Amino acid sequence: MSYLLRIDSSASGDASFSRQVADTFSAAWDGEIVHRDLALDPIGHLDAAGIAARTIPAAEHTADQKAAAAVQDALVEEFLGASAYLFAVPMYNLSMPSVFKAWLDHIMIVGRTMGLGDAVPTAGRPAVVVSARGGGYGPGAPHHGKDFVVPALEVILGDPALMALDVRAITPELTYAPVMEPLRHLVPLHVSSLENAHALARRYAEELSPAAAARTA
């Protein structure tokens, strides 16, 4: 089975700019989409039972370890079944939402989704990260260098020794400009950034969609 796996993590619902840009991508995608919304249906943080279940033989699992393994197995199978990925991960206090980090912790398992020197089953599959942020974090901006979302995900998702995905990022910025008085003068830059983000989302969806892959096969 092959599909686009879309993961949302914003707590803002339809008001989320990350979600809105991801919606544009989804609308332009011409294949099946499996959608998991971590804000509506959060996954608990990885606990001792979940960690132990990875190294203790299944026949020796306690009830808690068996339940934790079942959650991880379902998430890993969903992840591995996809041929492409769309992650809507806004910046919260310079980092990613905890619900998305929890999801990563459950699926990042050596020998299943991570290689650490061995072949990675997801190697080369495309992944688009949409990460809206309230301020500006690009070159020349006051907060340049303080983005701990996209650079971290580019390593976690894209490093050849880890998950080896082909990662592309879309970063609509200055989303606080329309609602915070000190940033009002930056509204035109916010509008331009958001327009560019939607255009890029459409372009990536068209380039990465199953129909595009079939044309180049």
Can you give the pLDDT at residue 112?
A: 92
Can you give the pLDDT at residue 118?
A: 66
Can you give the pLDDT at residue 214?
A: 62
Number of domains in the chain: 1
Q: Over the stretch 190-213, which tens digit does the pLDDT of each residue have?
A: 999 999 999 999 999 999 998 776
**What does pLDDT average to over the chain?**
94
Check which CATH number belongs to the domain holding 92 and give it: 3.40.50.360
Write out the residue range of the structural domain in which residue 26 sits. Answer: 4-216
CA–CA distance, 95 with 82 (Å, rounded to integer): 26
Q: Over the stretch 89-134, which tens digit does the pLDDT of each residue have?
A: 999 999 999 999 999 999 999 989 997 666 889 999 999 999 999 9
Contact yes or no for 86/128 (Cβ under 8 A): yes
- Residues contacting 56, CB < 8 A, separation 6+: 65
CA–CA distance, 212 with 217 (Å, rounded to integer): 9
Can you give the pLDDT at residue 1?
A: 52
Share of residues in the chain with pLDDT > 70 (%): 96
Structure tokens at 165: 């995905």
Contact yes or no for 144/183 (Cβ under 8 A): no
